[in-house]
Structure 1
Amino acid sequence: MKLPEKSLVVEHFNEPQLEFAGMQTSPHPKDGLFLYGPHAKARKPREINLGVVGTPDGISHFRDWGFRLHRQVSVPPPGKGEKADRLHLANFPGLEEIFGISFDPDGCSALSIPLPDIEHATRLQNLNEAVDKVARLYIDRVKKHLKNEERSIDVWVLVLPEIVYDRCRPGSKRSGLVLEKGDFSRKQKGKATLPLLASVIDLQGEEIFDDVPDFHRRIKAEFLKIAPTQLLRETTLAPEKFLNTAGYPVRKTQDAATVAWNIGTGLYYKTQPKPPWRLAQVRPGVCYIGMVYKNLPSDPDGHACCAAQMFLSEGDGVVFRGANGPWKTGDYEYHLKRDAAKNLLNLVLSSYIEAHKSPPRELFIHGQTYFNDEEWSAFVEAAPTETNIVGVRIRTTGGETKLFRDGDYPVIRGTALLLDDKTAYLWTTGYVAELDTYIGPETPNPLHITVMRSKATRPDIRTVLSDIMGLTKINYNCCNFNDGLPVTVRFAKMVGDVLTMGSAKGEEKQPFKFYV
């Protein structure tokens, strides 16, 4: 329906329903899992195999949590000024009771790394070298285990002391540390500045300068060839063990019940064939793609990596890596050349057809940039005749657009301001009636949604907005009521970060669970 010119229409989209076991539905993941269980719930409990890597203390903290996950974890009593019925919090009944999975905390493959070894590696002068050495402590320990053990591991849990988080990220200052000399100088960037004793150095080590010094990215990229991972900080598992001089935890963490829900959800998602919930009442034959672009570090030609995240009505996703190339055309604009666009879409469509035996009816491409003529014509050319392709641009906004409820209350999540028949603002955060609260630090800002192009009939803007609302509810790395961004956009940066790492080369197609 075409909207009248210069009209502003405000509408509200109901909270999308999620589907659980027995085709039962609920808008809240925690409620649905508690009442019905995962939508692909097994008849008998499943034993999962976990590997745990960390310091002796870190392994002990996770083992304690392992036993805790198999019991009820209660929400703490309300603090001063808090409501007694905090609907966004919920007791965690237990891993087997909720998800139908279990593991033996004492039977996990536990690989210990001495804390002094990690401490020494984080003090190396060159940050790239420091991150590489710390990551190698974990990676090599796992690879050595895999050579000697036949038992397969479903998920590797990497427990990180706080010094890894503080010192092994891009831009880590490491102020106040006494840094130690390594094989490379502090500002090492390539062969031109190798030390005079380069002949005694393994020159392959120079590859570490092709990557951004980030422990998280390095681990995720390396384990694309091994198994899914779950990274946990020691301070998350045992905040009471890490206190400041005033006797308070050094960092504020979520309550124990919420931590249990999130760990349990991640373990289930990364070990089972199907995710814990899926969207209910999704139109058949619909496929969503999130376009990902990331500049390649240390590339003198300014090339970028491109990828596509594919998500289906079942909720699960797959990441397809495209070609590297000169895709960046502006400060925040990326566009593929014809062949690269066709090849990437062919990868996606081939995978979809393999799973469903026929092409999708509708294929929505979500991006944060517009689609130029060359790449769009390539997308259309690659798509089967029966597949309608729709290009949608999704952008976050700042404080330039505000909408209030009853004068000064946060707008209700799901509110949309329709500017015309292809453009709208959509508030994916805001007051949630089911939780009787707005979880956010400031007045919620909307997403700016534009239906840019379509191969055939352009869908109603309301259909596009309703889909985006649904896609904010399938983040399986936690058990939140919703995210502020659809999953097609939410993890674009994270996926791009991993794919630009040297260890990720050659991985054209991997389940999404490997990246989160």
Structure 2
Amino acid sequence: MEFEDKQLFAEHIEEPVLEFGHGQTTDHPKDGLFLYGPRRQNAGVSALRVGVIGTPSGLSLFRDWANEIMGRIQIPPPGPRDKEVRLHLSAFPGLQEAFGISLDPDAFTECEINEKRLETVTRIVNQHEAVSKAADIYVDRVRNHAKNEEQPIDIWIFVVPEFIFERCRRQSRRQGLALEVGEFIKSQKAKFDAPLFAGALDVEGEQVFEDIPDFHRHIKAKLLDLNYTSQLVRETTLKPENFLNLAGHPTRRTQDRATIAWNFCSSLFYKTQADPPWKIANMRPGVCYVGLVFKVLPDHEQGHACCAAQMFLSEGDGVVFRGAVGPWKTEDKTFHLSADAANKLMRMVLETYKDKHGQFPSELFIHGRTSFRNDEWDAFCEAAPPETNIVGVRIRSTTGEMKLFRDGDYPCLRGTALILDERNAYLWSSGFAPRIGTYIGPETPNPLFVTILKSSNDAPEMRTVLQDILGLTKINYNSCNYNDGRPVTIQFADKVGDILIMGSAKNAVRQPFKFYI
């Protein structure tokens, strides 16, 4: 970008603070939970009602892990190369101490699956069939429990052997395996790198090919209809020292035990409680953020895509809305809704907000990766009442077009901004954070390029938009990190879209965000 000899000055957007129990605030989720607990405390601590599905060894590993996270987990001692205390690591105080919830392994609803059968189906020649059958071995346990048992379950834990991770992803090669013949005889020799077109096979059960062969996506998509949240965890994560290579080292590197516990328990709380463990503090009232998601459907004609919106509030859970499917991919390879589809999607978002708050939002920010066509934007605005200011913001990741250093050689501070004009700015949402004494990243951080595209009323100040974006990097409840590099409206767009285009998710209309992660 050319700056036309304009003199630019770096500004610093202050680190957003978060609110925890008793109305207390701090900028780090781990500090807030350790000192004050989650934002809304339970009156009495009772054990979560947990369903666990896994092989006999997997069930045993998870019971041990549940007992471990009920107690304190220390961070590893400093290594020989560590000159100072590693501030980005925090000891885990225990599930009840940090989150006010507990686990009772003796009360788990355990569903044992046959490891040999699971291993066999993952070797079926047709990978679509292999992944679908592997996922059904797990999901059928959930279906049977929902049908035959009265005991409610707060969350289902799927303990996954490593061969599932290795064989049941879209990019899995499965080389060197003794493959098994499955039910789709006509297609045993075919290689499926992408889902087939609907109706391509004249056999029963061809709906298998409506889903991308990815175990995680299968689980999440199939559980949408069952209305259960879930958490997938690999056996090698639970106890890496049990899985060694020929040299006697763990087969995969994992984070330290305390960090794993923080992340797992944050997700566990988020997926089982009515309110998230923290919120953005001091947020303007009546503000709503919507991230637009477009994902091309692999089993439709070229250019057809599924559109969805992710709505996030500072004080509550996110909601995912599945919009219309249509030819949204244009000749310039960007995505744009028709006026009718844009209007219907925005009405759905606004009505949901009103149902929750009793009134429409005063500000609604639409975050996307591309611009909006005039007819698309007009439809968004027509769906909103006059008191709601609709603001379109484009957030684009950059790769080296702008570099900024501190003291000549060091990454700049997180929150550094170069405001080019009233509509455009660079924001370093990743960078050196004094609170944790480091920059967590593989290379010099690249900024986000932020553009205020349009607004139905007065456009907000750029600093306000940047402050909001920085705050939205701190509400990823699926982990307990100090921050993410992108706002949650953009961070999970691809993951949500990947699940929405699954055939198993075609009936989903609006669901809490926690069901998708």
Distance (Å, rounded) in 2 between the aligned partners of 1:192 and 1:497: 21
Distance (Å, rounded) in 2 between the aligned partners of 1:494 and 1:352: 23
Distance (Å, rounded) in 2 between the aligned partners of 1:252 and 1:336: 43
Distance (Å, rounded) in 2 between the aligned partners of 1:454 and 1:404: 33
Equivalences for 1:36-185 in 2 at 5 Å? 36-184=36-184, 185=188
Q: Is the 8 A contact 2:38 2:99 kept in 1?
A: yes
Equivalences for 1:72-471 in 2 at 5 Å? 72-184=72-184, 185-187=188-190, 189=196, 194=201, 203=204, 205-226=205-226, 227-330=228-331, 332-471=333-472
Q: Is the 8 A contact 1:315 1:474 kept in 2?
A: no
Residue aligned with 1:293, SS:
strand
For residues 363-412 of structure 1, give each alpha carbon's deviation from its aligned partner in whole angstroms, at most 9, with x where no partner exists.
00000111111110000000001000000000111112110001010111
Q: Is the 8 A contact 1:7 1:420 kept in 2?
A: no
Q: What is the Cα deviation at residue 286 of structure 1?
A: 0.3
Q: Is the 8 A contact 1:349 1:359 kept in 2?
A: yes
Q: What is the Cα deviation at residue 43 of structure 1?
A: 2.8
Distance (Å, rounded) in 1 between the aligned partners of 2:6 and 2:346: 37
Find runs of 4+ consecutive structure 1 residues off by over 4 angstroms: 190-194
Distance 1:424 1:102, change over 3 A: same
Q: What is the Cα deviation at residue 191 of structure 1?
A: 8.0
Distance (Å, rounded) in 2 between the aligned partners of 1:403 and 1:315: 35
For residues 194-243 of structure 1, give each alpha carbon's deviation from its aligned partner in whole angstroms, at most 9, with x where no partner exists.
5xxx6xx5x1x211212211111111011112200101011111100110
Q: What is the Cα deviation at residue 178 of structure 1?
A: 1.5
Distance (Å, rounded) in 2 between the aligned partners of 1:220 and 1:437: 35
Distance (Å, rounded) in 1 between the aligned partners of 2:112 and 2:328: 43
Q: Is the 8 A contact 2:198 2:209 kept in 1?
A: no
Structure 2 residue identity aligned to 1:501: M
Residue aligned with 2:176, SS:
coil
* Structure 2 partner of 1:477: 478
Distance 1:406 1:190, change over 3 A: closer
Structure 2 residue identity aligned to 1:426: L
Structure 2 residue identity aligned to 1:234: E
Distance 1:286 1:169, change over 3 A: same
Q: Is the 8 A contact 1:5 1:420 kept in 2?
A: no
Distance 1:462 1:41, change over 3 A: same
Distance 1:231 1:303, change over 3 A: same
Q: What is the Cα deviation at residue 10 of structure 1?
A: 1.3
Distance (Å, rounded) in 2 between the aligned partners of 1:458 and 1:13: 19
Distance (Å, rounded) in 2 between the aligned partners of 1:345 and 1:446: 29
For residues 449-472 of structure 1, give each alpha carbon's deviation from its aligned partner in whole angstroms, at most 9, with x where no partner exists.
000110010111111000000000
Distance (Å, rounded) in 2 between the aligned partners of 1:36 and 1:193: 57
Q: Is the 8 A contact 2:429 2:485 kept in 1?
A: yes
Tell me whether 311-320 or 457-466 shows the greater mean CA deviation.
311-320
Q: What is the Cα deviation at residue 69 of structure 1?
A: 1.1
Q: Is the 8 A contact 1:426 1:448 kept in 2?
A: yes
Distance (Å, rounded) in 2 between the aligned partners of 1:17 and 1:258: 21
TM-score of the pair, normalised by structure 2: 0.96
Q: What is the Cα deviation at residue 7 of structure 1?
A: 3.9
Distance (Å, rounded) in 2 between the aligned partners of 1:436 and 1:459: 33
Structure 2 residue identity aligned to 1:335: H
Q: Is the 8 A contact 2:391 2:456 kept in 1?
A: yes
Distance (Å, rounded) in 2 between the aligned partners of 1:380 and 1:487: 23
Residue aligned with 2:105, SS:
coil
Distance (Å, rounded) in 1 between the aligned partners of 2:254 and 2:189: 34
Q: Is the 8 A contact 1:393 1:452 kept in 2?
A: yes
Distance (Å, rounded) in 1 between the aligned partners of 2:469 and 2:256: 29
Kindly report the root-mean-square deviation, in angstroms, between the aligned alpha carbons of the 2 structures. 1.6
Residue aligned with 2:308, SS:
strand
TM-score of the pair, normalised by structure 1: 0.96
Q: What is the Cα deviation at residue 6 of structure 1?
A: 3.1
Q: What is the Cα deviation at residue 302 of structure 1?
A: 3.1
Distance (Å, rounded) in 2 between the aligned partners of 1:193 and 1:449: 44
Tell me whether 448-457 or 310-319 shows the greater mean CA deviation.
310-319
Structure 1: which 5+ runs fail to align? none
Distance (Å, rounded) in 2 between the aligned partners of 1:61 and 1:439: 30
Residue aligned with 2:34, SS:
helix
Distance (Å, rounded) in 1 between the aligned partners of 2:423 and 2:46: 47
Distance 1:109 1:301, change over 3 A: same
Q: What is the Cα deviation at residue 135 of structure 1?
A: 0.7
Distance 1:435 1:168, change over 3 A: same
Distance 1:252 1:449, change over 3 A: same
For residues 47-90 of structure 1, give each alpha carbon's deviation from its aligned partner in whole angstroms, at most 9, with x where no partner exists.
21111111111111111000011111111111221245211111
Structure 2: which 5+ runs fail to align? none
**Identity of paired residues, percent?**
57
